[in-house]
Amino acid sequence: MSSAAKHPTWMEIDLDALDGNIREVQKRVGPAVKIIASVKANAYGHGVIPVAQRLAAAHIEMLATGSFNDAIALREAGINTPILMFGAMLPSAIQEFLQFRLTPTVHNKEMAEAVAAQTQMPLGVFIKVDCGFGRLGIPIRKAHRFVLDLARRSHVEVVGLYTHLPFFDEASYVWAQERIAKFEDLVTALAGDGLTIPITQARASAAIVTGIKDHCTAVSPGGILYGHSPVAGSLSDTSGFRPVMTSLCSRLIHISHDANDRTPGYEGIYATRVKGATGVVPFGRSDGNRVAVPGKLAYMLLHGVKVPVLGVSLEHSVLDLSAVNNPKIGDEVVILGSSDGVEITLEQIAAWWGVGLNDVLMAINDRIRQKFLPSALNEGPVPSVFPATP
């Protein structure tokens, strides 16, 4: 029996769309700017190995993730592209990272001591600067001295310096511009002291889609590689980008035609009186589905008709099929995507759930089968400007 029959819920991933998004990033930043492609969180839920294989085939200069397991999976899959590890480890793990040729991020003095203590061949590291986001990194007011001190340690080569400045609206757009300018001032000051760092990066997806410019040598796109902008409205120019996850679908596994006197739902969350049939699809909380927030109603598509989601349990969703003519077991239900000209978008699902776009992508877990749209990879060597780590 096929896996499609055993759990008939799947997502479709268009790797050609990923190729197009890479080209759009390259067009916007220019040929001289390197791309550090973020594949964190299983490539934003899109499948880290096939996505990274496609990025490597496109000659992306570097991949970046916070997951040690994902990074090892990439190495075991034969991907030799340099991998930058975002901060996610304790200093004591440094030797395991080096074993798999992973480039560590130094974001505090404890990590600095750990990389300086290793006595193998010179180790290339990236340093993360906190320019005001307040998560990981050396505070920018202390970064100048910190970077110089680490660069002078034996067995350490500072090959990269980066920061992260996510933003979502016009006010934070202005803030990000100011902070990027401060980061560039730091790079200039370090160069004035004789330390020219090959890779400097401050822009990520938000800066790319809003047109912020800088003089850094790299960008690190994340969500926009997969066709989703973190910035909504007219501030964001997403022309040229396409969603890589084109659809999320399931099939009806049960239909009840005698629902006239029932009010389906979960603990009374929904009080919609059903006037026709109800249907069940195997897309529940364990797959990443959620109930809509109070005051909203989520929908799926069946035969091009928007059908309300009446309830979500651990394994199933119950749908109101009152408006659908002659539903049958096995009929395709579109959770995300289009059916007969009607569409449900990631933005709509996020609004129904009361969360952000990434929250939806991260909720859809690896129980969901992935179908990759067929397309040939352009095989070839992946050039690198980064020093090899031992």
> Hey, where are the domains in the chain?
33-226, 245-372
What is the second-level CATH architecture of the domain 33-226?
Alpha-Beta Barrel (3.20)
pLDDT at 383: 34
The CA distance from 269 to 288, in Å, is: 18
**How many CB atoms are closer than 10 A to CB 337?**
19
Task: Specify the residue for token string 């203590």.
Answer: 117
Contacting residues for 32 by C-beta, under 8 A, at least 6 apart: 217
Contacting residues for 145 by C-beta, under 8 A, at least 6 apart: none
pLDDT at 334: 98
In the chain, at which residue ranges do the beta strands (DSSP E only) sit?
Answer: 9-13, 34-38, 62-65, 83-85, 102-103, 105-106, 123-130, 138-139, 156-163, 199-203, 218-219, 245-251, 254-256, 278-281, 299-302, 305-312, 317-320, 332-339, 342-344, 369-372
pLDDT in tens, 220-254: 999 999 999 988 888 999 999 999 999 999 999 99
Q: At what angle do helices 15-29 and 48-57 cross, to 10 degrees?
A: 50
SS3 state at 176? helix
Please indicate whether the domains covering 33-226 and 245-372 agree at the CATH topology level.
no
pTM value surpassing 0.75: yes
pLDDT at 384: 34
pLDDT at 110: 92
Contacting residues for 233 by C-beta, under 8 A, at least 6 apart: 169
pLDDT at 89: 81
pLDDT in tens, 254-289: 999 875 566 655 544 555 667 788 999 999 999 999
pLDDT at 252: 97
The CA distance from 134 to 70, in Å, is: 26
Does CATH number 2.40.37.10 belong to domain 245-372? yes
Q: Exposed, middle or buried: residue 146 (CB in 10 Å: 0-12, 13-18, 19+)?
A: middle
**Is 377 within 8 Å of 54 (Cβ atoms)?**
yes
Low-confidence ranges of the chain (pLDDT < 50): 267-268, 375-390
